[in-house]
Structure 1
């Protein structure tokens, strides 16, 4: 599907979500986004022989259905889930610099940094906060308050009630099913009843479930196990913190675990109050690492150029984005202080340099 169609649809979904959440979206801006997206989707359907034109009101109904159902060559993902942009939608919107979830996440993190940078043990507390958020996409409200209040963070900026599409009644109480990969409550498809995570990476890892005699069974390519958790007294992380703290944090933690298996290697996460992601050391050797997972390598290069490093820094991308390495390396140029590797490639690089 053409990138312009994807972008227009994602922008429309973001604007419609802001309208639903009463987040200050102007009526004209919402209608302009819906009108443009409907026109682009209709043009694509006409060119591909995939159905009649879509009116903006019809497009609104389609936003919560997998695009493959109503667009030729469409992705098998929804643009909205429970009225919120999915991770796929956010990835595309991010390329246009129109990502309200990122703004919320940045506000929370900056508040924490302002509080902790003046504390003697602020670096340790910041790392503990990041670890807590990654480990607790679904958490007891009492535990969340105990963690956030000393840092001056607002509860509502970080956590919210588990929404209705994530709930299922079991033995007289509401339960949800956390994603077995990222821990955020999965949503139920309103038509098929299937349960799956919002995250593109989780779906790619086979996190899909269906019902068999009131039991959730995996339908993806891996035998993931999803278990019900009572929602009483529990809250979920806000979409912004889940999207921009938990999901990249999973890659960061996985890389740290793999590096620590190398004898003599020490890894510190989010050093110097998140100046970079991983500080990797072996004796006198040091590697500075930023872990990045971006849909567009060109956009990643643009973001990196905005904050060039003063010392050599390794940008590590997920193994599944190996095809982006050539463009990243060529785009950065031979004089760049950035170097690029996949997670597996960087582990091999450290092992090889230690042996030299």
Structure 2
């Protein structure tokens, strides 16, 4: 977030800035380059629309030439703002961010940045604190987490939501067996072409969603790579290489060493596991749309694991652990006793934000996550965010912790008969 001066000489937070404009512009370009449903004229129109977004962000004194934008759609400078925008319009802290990769595909960092900024905007709009020219009407068509969860509401909410976490890519037959509500079925689509090679695709060994496939070079020099779009999954082992051979099913080799979790973090580990994925046929499979996978499946994996381990360790203690109670009032709730005498020990909202400053902005905008949960819990691999989150949570009477630290605290509190939050 940045600050702008108001008429009285003071300052007020401005929740919208060039960072979102640039992200939207390159998202439009990425769709123009990778959407197989568009013809040439439609692709050109979208790239021209992106040019307009960048020019609006830069202002009239700094024209963004069409040919300059085209130079940023592929190659070594793909998705870079360097030299494209004036210095004052460069998003703070995002100097090194690439909005597109060399294939013209929206990077995971840019994908997350766009989503997380929109969450801040939506939270601020609800309480009348939105500043800047972007309105919610400009964001129509954006992924809304509430839309996904609303489609699952009902007696089987827990089952349906867990199915989106555990089964992000399934055969059409298995999709029918999941018995998801009709609106939720719309979240599944054909395996995207950028995740296929010669009619095959590969599951990520961490999240089971299709991995991105890239082939460079031709003939005998061609080389292929397969990698999960969630960076931490790729870093822990979901990254592979192969030699493309026409007419042959690709066989993968490990590209990075599979990470081994420490004893402390092993119980809640949700990274890649040893073993090279086998090719699966594209025909007959469906996969969750990218945004539903990223903001439902990916954070849901450590969320469900935390619930399972807590329930196991607190068995026979008289303490109950609930996942998404009452259609997601909280992500996790730990209680002691029954009926009117029930004591709430812990309430949790689980967050997996790439940009911690955006999470802080959202907490600030909606008053500490609507004042519902006592704890904000993040995956263990987001541990570096805890100091910043702790400072912000303290302002709202909340606490922040990694999943493992929270697990140990709950178990210790229950064993000692403590009062929790």
TM-score by length of 2: 0.65
Indicate how the Cα distance of structure 1 residues 56 and 248 shifts in structure 2: closer, same or farther if over 3 A, else same: same
Cα distance in structure 2, aligned partners of 1:254 and 1:181: 13
Q: Is the 8 A contact 1:92 1:295 kept in 2?
A: yes
Structural mapping, 1:185-196, within 5 Å = 185-191=210-216, 192-196=223-227
Deviation at 1:351, TM superposition (A): 1.8
Aligned to 1:301: 360
Q: Is the 8 A contact 1:316 1:340 kept in 2?
A: yes
Aligned to 1:42: none
Aligned to 1:108: 148
Question: Relative to total residues, which structure has the larger helix share, 1 or 2?
Answer: 1
Aligned-residue Cα RMSD (Å) equals 3.8
Deviation at 1:27, TM superposition (A): 6.3
Find the residue that maps to 2:411 and give its secondary structure.
helix
Q: Is the 8 A contact 1:282 1:354 kept in 2?
A: no
Cα distance in structure 1, aligned partners of 2:141 and 2:290: 7
Q: Is the 8 A contact 2:30 2:100 kept in 1?
A: no
Q: Is the 8 A contact 1:87 1:243 kept in 2?
A: no
Deviation at 1:339, TM superposition (A): 1.0
194-203 vs 301-310, which deviates more?
301-310
Aligned to 1:350: 410
Cα distance in structure 2, aligned partners of 1:93 and 1:167: 26
Find the residue that maps to 2:252 and give its secondary structure.
strand
Work out whether 1:135 is the aligned partner of 2:166. yes
Structural mapping, 1:1-356, within 5 Å = 10-19=23-32, 21=35, 29-33=49-53, 55-62=68-75, 74=96, 79=100, 85-97=106-118, 103=143, 105-113=145-153, 116=154, 122=155, 125-147=156-178, 151-153=181-183, 155=185, 157-169=186-198, 174-191=199-216, 192-211=223-242, 214-222=250-258, 223-264=274-315, 266-283=320-337, 284=343, 286-305=345-364, 306=366, 308=368, 309-310=370-371, 313-334=374-395, 336-356=396-416
Indicate how the Cα distance of structure 1 residues 248 and 64 shifts in structure 2: closer, same or farther if over 3 A, else same: farther
Find the residue that maps to 1:184 and give its secondary structure.
coil
Deviation at 1:197, TM superposition (A): 0.8
Q: Is the 8 A contact 1:5 1:37 kept in 2?
A: yes
Query: Unaligned regions of 5+ residues in structure 2, if any?
Result: 1-16, 60-66, 81-94, 122-138, 217-222, 245-249, 259-273, 338-342, 417-421
Aligned positions, number? 322
Cα distance in structure 2, aligned partners of 1:247 and 1:189: 22
Find the residue that maps to 2:74 and give its secondary structure.
helix
Find the residue that maps to 1:215 and give its secondary structure.
coil
Deviation at 1:323, TM superposition (A): 2.1
Q: Is the 8 A contact 1:15 1:30 kept in 2?
A: yes
Q: Is the 8 A contact 2:307 2:321 kept in 1?
A: yes
137-146 vs 21-30, which deviates more?
21-30
Deviation at 1:288, TM superposition (A): 1.0
217-226 vs 308-317, which deviates more?
308-317
Cα distance in structure 1, aligned partners of 2:166 and 2:141: 20
Find the residue that maps to 1:190 and give its secondary structure.
strand
Cα distance in structure 2, aligned partners of 1:64 and 1:267: 49
Indicate how the Cα distance of structure 1 residues 343 and 63 shifts in structure 2: closer, same or farther if over 3 A, else same: farther
Find the residue that maps to 1:300 and give its secondary structure.
helix
